[in-house]
Structure 1
Amino acid sequence: MDIHELRKHVEALRFTPQEPVRWLAPKELTRTAVKVALAAMFADYSDKREIQGALEAGLLRAPLADPGAEEIWIDFVADLGDGFEATASVASALAADRLAVAGPAPLPRGSLLVLGGDQVYPVASTTAYEDRMKGPYRAALPSAPDEPLMVALPGNHDWYDGLTAFLRVFAQESPIGGWQTRQTRSYFAVELPQRWWLVGLDSQLGSYFDDPQRRYFETHLSPRLRPGDSVIVCSAAPTWVKSGEEPDAFNSLHWFDRNIVRTRFDRTTRKREDTGASIRLWLTGDKHHYARYAERLPDDGPGADDALPPDPRRRQMVTCGLGGAYLAATHRLPKALPLPPATSRMREKDDPPPAFALAQQTYPDAGESRSLARGIAAFWSPHWLPRRNPGFAVLTGVVHMVLALILCGAFALAEGRHNPVDALRAADGDDLLGLLCTSAALFVLPFVIGWWTGLLRERRPVAPSGPVVVVLFQLAVTTAALTGTVAIAQLVPSSWNGFMFLAILLVVAAVAGASLGSQLFALWVLWTNHGLVAEWQMSGQSIDDHKGFVRMHIGRDGRLTLYPLALDGACRDWDLDEVADTPAAWTRPVPATPQTVRLIEEPFVIARHGQGQPPPAPADPAEDAV
């Protein structure tokens, strides 16, 4: 059965399966804008992280069932609480006891599940968490004898209610199905086997590290780090990718590396001392794709864009936000990253900065990413903007009806008439030609502006962009609708009631706006190559296939192996399975057919710090400033 059939069994399921969020629907645009504004106010005046300083918090250990284990399997998934089919498909793969993957032997389920942010969309609330995250994950793993640990860090969507619902769900030590929660704050440190550590940071909408969070890591992490220890840092966003456009984006993570991991403050000597530990892996979501940056080593030779061969000595930066939300593009990712960049305003930073290069394999790959992005303007595509966001088509239709009335009044004044209906009736061939030329000019003008601007700035023509362009496009459509109404007015008897002409105008404007207006808006979005509007190319399509997660293994030899996994298609057919081994029986959805999971790229290994690789540049003993 599909999602619509499942929704008939809400009482038995104990949650309501949800459709993917339509990000360009007027309702979602308005609601999200309001929540973003409110979240900014919380960030400025009511930082929940400061309040969390009063909560008890300690060091976590994994696996829960065997704290003395010499190896561990870990799962990382992010951006998961969107449409049911995608979220539940990933959750079912995560919950499988052993996951069959082409190539390696079946991979055991993780004893530790890390949720990397944005556990719910579009905004956080208790009901939204229940329907979009807790329900699907509880159904995927109702119980587990090994009690896998679940830890979560908040993303921007978790912060849109000030973190209230997040703390209720993840910080009260309540189980979610078979997964056990133990954290009491929105950040955590987990001790792992073989001298590895997992750290989850709460950057609160890109803000600095609050004092309670800093003191938590100075108390529970830094004093325990010993020479050769290795750290996995999970953050809510891949700030390293933004460092090219925002030189200070990586500052907070670099400060954490230098002042918490690589050095610590000795209260006895009142000086900073080296810990001998190192961050070996940065792991994040937020961007709904898979991409990996590998550290360039001194013996790699020149050339920042070269494909780097596998080498366990390399530190890695991995983005994997494929847990359930819409797919994001990869073809605009920078090829090389010096971190932090030379233009960063940090007072103390590594010099020279370590360089990282983009690995060849992304998901989706660059070619497929470009092809998928074009779907927003392809009217034959199931992901065409007005087809995927019907509310947007309605909105553009209404906007064009209003614009048509305004233009009709302006046309009447230009003709020297006070009654718009009389102006429509009296219009002749010259008026029709004038309106047609005006519509064509308004449509061509954005291209002229774009090409001319490109020649001035970049010495080459560029596609039209900017808000003025989209306004001109919509005025061109409305003028075309008025032109069509004038043409119709010349074909119908003059005895018709005047209101019929206005009705014709409104109908023509609504149809033209909903179809042609939406199409021109989609083309404008497709032509834009940076910023928020460029992100609408994918978010406007709400593609709920192409999902995945990262499974990791710390072996007895101390090496960390990463298996990036993909589900090319979300499950669309579900069966109902009764869960009887609980105090009250309930029903859960399970995939009707086995899911196919494959490797995105070959597994790669990260050696523990000190296993054959040169140490990172030592941090300056002086206090760093962000």
Structure 2
Amino acid sequence: MSDSSRDTAAGAGWGTTERGDYLRLMPNRGEKLSWLNPRTLWPARNGVLASLFGDPTGHTRGRWVEQRTAAGAPADKVVRHSAPDHFSFMVIGDTGEGDDPQYAVVPGFLKVGRDTEFAVLASDVVYPVGSTDDYGTKFFRPYKDYQAPIYAIPGNHDWYEDLDGFMRVFCDAPPLAEPAAPRRLTPAWWRSLLWHKPRRHDEQRLAEARKLRSAPAQRTVQPGPYWAIDAGPVRIVGIDTGLTGTVDAEQGRWLREVSKGDIPKILITGSPLYVDAEHHPGPIEGGGTVDDIVRDPAHHYVAAIGGDIHNYQRYPVEVDGRTIQYVVAGGGGAFMHATHTMPRVSVAGVSEGDFRCYPLRGDSLAFYSRLYGNRLHMRRFFTLTEAEATAVVAKRLGIPATRVQERPARITLRTRVVASLLGAGGRPDRTSRLRLPVRKAYTQLFSPGSATYSPPFFKCFLRLDVSPDTVRLRCFSATGNRPQELDPPVEDEVSIPLT
């Protein structure tokens, strides 16, 4: 097995190395998505409108579910997948930007997943707005050689066109009828004036794209945007958290019902319940939270895996004498969210020593220092070596260096200033007022516009191996470099008991 980022800098993808073969998989005219482009920002306005004038996704979701039920989808929304007692499946989140980082994941994903029963896409299948016409290069083409069904739950970007593309591709659903006009001068009326509606798509283009995944073993039709899969000894429950992370009342009732029973369960959600050292339990309209359901011992959840945040994190939380693994798995292709901005972990009894993340904090800081150096044309000032970044993060958090350095780097004044400007450790100091946007603001604006097309990309995907007694969860990395493409490193591994 090849070195991981926890072993060596080369295992993280640093240094001069050969670019992977993923380049031959890409379309000749690959898209370079920029969220600083007004032509991208304007169609993606629905999230802002929902926060200002009320979120209509619960009502729209209900209409989609009603349509699917009328078309013959099972009322309980449970897929009975004929898997043996020992089987494996893949999970990959936040994939579809259609550029180098997404395609760099594909060779390793295919290699690790070649004998798996199915895959699950956890949130944001297609950027920027989930348009049907984008599925060819951002879904069908990259995963054309994965010879098993792919299920998906939508993320907020898939909702920017009212879930039209997602429902067409994964549920074979026709477009919804135009809703009734809201009463004048109500918040819904103001929202409707600016709401971005689904664009008319090219039927021939979609038909050609579907041919890329047309083998019988690849075909499946989901019951709707949320579902459950009974496979071997486990039930996998996928929920749709829409534009704002809230579960509507109807879906909440279904979630409580489908969670009953002794069969062990794994939740897949578009909004992670633990992320960036914080707890986000997931509100349900009408009362209660998603995490209340996950924690209930009568429901037998063993893990909750969420997309939306573009990196890997794992929190083993003790709940009533048992451990539930809360995982963030959104590193499947979109721009990278920083890990170096997280404080020292202390949440729900999980300490820094229990916590795992990818990329490592030092690698994240080195990545962003290089990115800012290039963007601001100040490479000599901003760019930190991976050794310098690792050392300064460990110092600021008061933890041992995650990766042992042959020659520990000296922490200079420049190193400290750059680390502080880029928010390393999330710790305020004298330069806090000058801190550059890396976490909240950078996530919302600058980070999507600053994707890098030079390895290492720090992407990842999961493989879960299920037996009657345990689930073995492994996080594999994809850097864009050939060594990690030929033998994808394991960045984290945990064995989850089912009994």
Q: TM-score, normalised by structure 1?
A: 0.54
The separation in 2 between residues aligned to 1:124 and 1:153, in whole angstroms, is: 12
- 1:356 maps to 350
- 2:368 maps to 373
Shift of residue 236, structure 1, vs aligned partner: 0.4
SS in 2 for 1:595: helix
Provide Cα deviations, 1:578-626, integer angstroms capped at 9, x if missing partner. xxxxxxxxxxxxxxx9933433434210111xx3xxxxxxxxxxxxxxx
Assess, with a 3 A threshold, how the Cα gap between structure 1 residues 35 and 20 changes in structure 2: closer, same or farther. Answer: farther
SS in 1 for 2:495: strand
Whether the 8 Å contact between 1:38 and 1:160 is mirrored in structure 2 is no
Assess, with a 3 A threshold, how the Cα gap between structure 1 residues 596 and 538 changes in structure 2: closer, same or farther. Answer: farther
Assess, with a 3 A threshold, how the Cα gap between structure 1 residues 135 and 382 changes in structure 2: closer, same or farther. Answer: farther
Shift of residue 74, structure 1, vs aligned partner: 1.0
SS in 1 for 2:298: coil
Whether the 8 Å contact between 1:217 and 1:260 is mirrored in structure 2 is no
- 1:302 maps to none
Shift of residue 254, structure 1, vs aligned partner: 6.7
Q: Relative to structure 2, which stretch is displaced further, 53-62 or 151-160?
A: 53-62
Which aligned segments of 4 or more residues in structure 1 are displaced greater than 6 angstroms? 1-6, 380-384
- Which amino acid is the alignment partner of residue 274 of structure 2? W
Provide Cα deviations, 1:351-408, integer angstroms capped at 9, x if missing partner. xxx5334545421111111111122331489998xxxxxxxxxxxxxxxxxxxxxxxx
Shift of residue 234, structure 1, vs aligned partner: 0.9
- 1:88 maps to 103
Of the three residues 234, 237, 258, the one matched with 2:268 is 234
Assess, with a 3 A threshold, how the Cα gap between structure 1 residues 297 and 136 changes in structure 2: closer, same or farther. Answer: closer
Provide Cα deviations, 1:151-182, integer angstroms capped at 9, x if missing partner. 11110110111111111111129894442323
SS in 1 for 2:332: coil
Shift of residue 242, structure 1, vs aligned partner: 6.6
- 2:467 maps to 555
The separation in 2 between residues aligned to 1:136 and 1:60, in whole angstroms, is: 27
The separation in 2 between residues aligned to 1:181 and 1:555, in whole angstroms, is: 24
The separation in 2 between residues aligned to 1:383 and 1:186, in whole angstroms, is: 45
The separation in 2 between residues aligned to 1:284 and 1:85, in whole angstroms, is: 23
Whether the 8 Å contact between 1:291 and 1:319 is mirrored in structure 2 is yes
SS in 2 for 1:378: helix
2:497 counterpart of 1:603: no
2:222 counterpart of 1:183: yes
- 1:214 maps to 252
Assess, with a 3 A threshold, how the Cα gap between structure 1 residues 383 and 169 changes in structure 2: closer, same or farther. Answer: farther
- Which amino acid is the alignment partner of residue 601 of structure 1? E
Provide Cα deviations, 1:520-544, integer angstroms capped at 9, x if missing partner. xxxxxx6246422366564332035
Assess, with a 3 A threshold, how the Cα gap between structure 1 residues 121 and 336 changes in structure 2: closer, same or farther. Answer: same
- Which amino acid is the alignment partner of residue 119 of structure 1? V
Of the three residues 537, 542, 557, the one matched with 2:451 is 542
Assess, with a 3 A threshold, how the Cα gap between structure 1 residues 254 and 462 changes in structure 2: closer, same or farther. Answer: farther
Q: What is the total number of aligned residue pairs between the two structures?
A: 383
Shift of residue 117, structure 1, vs aligned partner: 0.8
The separation in 2 between residues aligned to 1:156 and 1:376, in whole angstroms, is: 26
Of the three residues 139, 157, 160, the one matched with 1:133 is 139
Shift of residue 235, structure 1, vs aligned partner: 0.9
Shift of residue 284, structure 1, vs aligned partner: 1.2
Whether the 8 Å contact between 2:339 and 2:364 is mirrored in structure 1 is yes
2:171 counterpart of 1:171: yes
SS in 1 for 2:474: strand
The separation in 1 between residues aligned to 2:461 and 2:83, in whole angstroms, is: 26
- 2:152 maps to 152
- Which amino acid is the alignment partner of residue 310 of structure 2? H
Assess, with a 3 A threshold, how the Cα gap between structure 1 residues 334 and 283 changes in structure 2: closer, same or farther. Answer: farther
Q: Which structure 1 residue ranges, 5 or more long, are not aligned?
A: 9-16, 100-106, 263-274, 300-312, 339-353, 385-446, 452-457, 466-525, 572-592, 612-626
- 1:92-103 superposed matches below 5 A: 92-96=107-111, 99=112
The separation in 1 between residues aligned to 2:288 and 2:27, in whole angstroms, is: 46
Shift of residue 317, structure 1, vs aligned partner: 1.0
- Which amino acid is the alignment partner of residue 532 of structure 1? A
Q: Which structure 2 residue ranges, 5 or more long, are not aligned?
A: 1-20, 174-209, 380-416, 422-426
2:295 counterpart of 1:289: no
Whether the 8 Å contact between 2:273 and 2:326 is mirrored in structure 1 is no
The separation in 2 between residues aligned to 1:43 and 1:36, in whole angstroms, is: 8
The separation in 2 between residues aligned to 1:377 and 1:239, in whole angstroms, is: 30
2:227 counterpart of 1:205: no
- 1:74-473 superposed matches below 5 A: 74-96=89-111, 99=112, 108-138=114-144, 140-141=145-146, 144=147, 148-172=148-172, 176-178=213-215, 179-194=218-233, 196-219=234-257, 221-223=258-260, 225-226=261-262, 229-241=263-275, 244=278, 250-252=282-284, 255-259=289-293, 262=296, 276-296=298-318, 314-336=323-345, 338=347, 354-358=348-352, 359-379=354-374, 461-465=430-434
Assess, with a 3 A threshold, how the Cα gap between structure 1 residues 222 and 89 changes in structure 2: closer, same or farther. Answer: same
Shift of residue 214, structure 1, vs aligned partner: 3.0
Alignment identity in percent? 21
Assess, with a 3 A threshold, how the Cα gap between structure 1 residues 38 and 365 changes in structure 2: closer, same or farther. Answer: same
The separation in 2 between residues aligned to 1:151 and 1:208, in whole angstroms, is: 21
Whether the 8 Å contact between 2:277 and 2:343 is mirrored in structure 1 is no
Shift of residue 460, structure 1, vs aligned partner: 5.3
Shift of residue 25, structure 1, vs aligned partner: 3.5
- 1:568 maps to 479
Q: Which one has the bigger helix percentage?
A: 1
Whether the 8 Å contact between 1:187 and 1:201 is mirrored in structure 2 is yes
Whether the 8 Å contact between 1:53 and 1:212 is mirrored in structure 2 is no
